[in-house]
Amino acid sequence: MVYLLGFVIAVAIGLTGVGAGTLTTPLLILAVGLPARIAVGTSLIFGAVVKIITSPVYMARRQVDWRTLGIMLAGGVPGVLIGVSVLRGVDGKIITGVIGITIVIVAIFNLFRPTTENRHDHTKWLTLVALPIGTEVGFSSAGAGALGALSLLSMTKLSAAAVVGTDLVFGLVLSLIGGGVNAAMGTLSGPVLMKLLAGGVPGAILGAFLAGKVPSKKLRMGLSGAMALLGANLFYKGFF
């Protein structure tokens, strides 16, 4: 089952840029039974590897805006380090509940992304916005995909493809840093990670190949519904 989870999630990431943390973490907790801290660390490393595979496709198509990425990372990198630090001192059930409500919020935002028309350029403020996004990624592994893309769509004039590409690389860097710190602390499951990657690597390749050929908007809406259900389940498990 873990192999299949890795494959499906990786395809979704390749197509939409969303799913690395918002799908992987709750499924590892609910379906695989990992503790919340271990699920977060495992999810971050898995998301980083998948994005290493999918990001070059967008880079080759020149769909990554490097200036905007740098502005986001100026806030996102310190944010993810703060999030990982906070994760270490919080009770596991509270972590589970907070991850749940975070994923519900992310799913709702993902459903109501603004269009690429009639937008104003507020790129200079992205550093401030990326700081809490990075903190959330470090704490729960969720948010880089949906919240990052929402910020780019709301505050820049990038095309839809450039939003996905820039957001993928943003999430890749945060996942590498957050996952690396968790790996150093031993808060991940090596056996589960290997199974996820065994399914995720071919899934990432397929997702990258299908990018632009599949109606990702409908897929994103379906994923958002699934994320909301998973998040609600985690919230209930953590606080009730």
What is the rounded CA–CA span in Å between residue 34 and residue 42? 10
Distance between CA atoms of residues 35 and 224, nearest Å: 24
Instruction: Single out the residue of 214, 239, 204, 223 nearest to residue 49, CA to CA.
Output: 204
| Domain range summary for the chain, segments of one domain joined by + | 2-239
CB 141 within 8 A of CB 44: yes
Q: What is the rounded average pLDDT for all residues in the chain?
A: 84
Instruction: Supply the pLDDT for residue 214.
Output: 65
- Global pTM reads 0.83
- How confident is the model at residue 17, as a pLDDT? 64
Alpha-carbon distance of 117 to 159, in angstroms, equals 9
State how far the Cα of 181 lies from the Cα of 210, in Å rounded to an integer.
Answer: 32
d(Cα 104, Cα 177) in Å, to the nearest integer? 24
Write the burial class of residue 170 (CB in 10 Å: 0-12 exposed, 13-18 middle, 19+ buried): buried
The string of pLDDT tens digits covering residues 150-193 is 888 888 888 877 888 898 899 899 999 998 898 888 888 999 99
Which pLDDT score is estimated for 113?
63
Band (211; pLDDT cuts 50, 70, 90) = low
Q: Model confidence over 60-75: pLDDT tens digits?
A: 889 899 999 999 999 9
Q: Which two tokens stand for residue 56?
A: 């070059």
